[in-house]
Amino acid sequence: MSYRVETIENFEREAKRLKKKFPSLKQEINDLIDILEENAFYGISMYDGFYKIRLGIKSKGKGKRAGARVITCVKVVAEKVYLVSIYDKSEQSDIAESELKRLFTEISDTE
C-alpha cells in the first residue's frame, strides 16, 4: 500500500530552522519521505498513531544517534502520513505526550 506524505505547519517551521543549520537535511527529509510512502509505520511506535524516527544528519557528522528526531502520525483510513515535528537530539531529548496531543489536534484541523 502506498501512502501520501504531508507536512503540517509545525513541522515546516521546525524544519526550516534546522535546514539553515544543517544543509544536508533537505535531502535527508526527501529520502525519508520516499521510505514513508512505502512503509508508513517506519520508526518506533509512541502514542496513538505517532512514530519517532531517528534521522542521521550528514552535515552534522554524528550519525543517527546524535542526529534529528522526526515525529510522524499515520492515518490509515486516509492513507496519509503526516510529518508533525522534527528536532535536533542535542537540543531536545524527547517530545512530551501533551505536545503530541496538541499536534494531533493540529492534524485534525487540517483534515
The domain that holds 100 is classified in CATH as 3.30.2310.20
Q: How many domains does the chain have?
A: 1
Residue-range definition of the domain harbouring residue 87: 4-110
Provide the percentage of residues in the chain whose pLDDT is more than 90.
60
Nearest alpha carbon to residue 68 among 1, 7, 15: 15
Residues sharing a CB contact under 8 Å with residue 43, sequence separation 6 or more, in sequence order: 51, 52, 53, 54, 70, 72
> How do residues 11-55 score in pLDDT, each as one tens digit?
999 999 999 999 999 999 999 999 999 999 999 999 888 999 999
SS3 53: strand
What contacts 101, CB < 8 A, 6 or more positions away? none
**Per-residue CA distances from 23 to 1, 52, 60 (Å):** 32, 22, 9
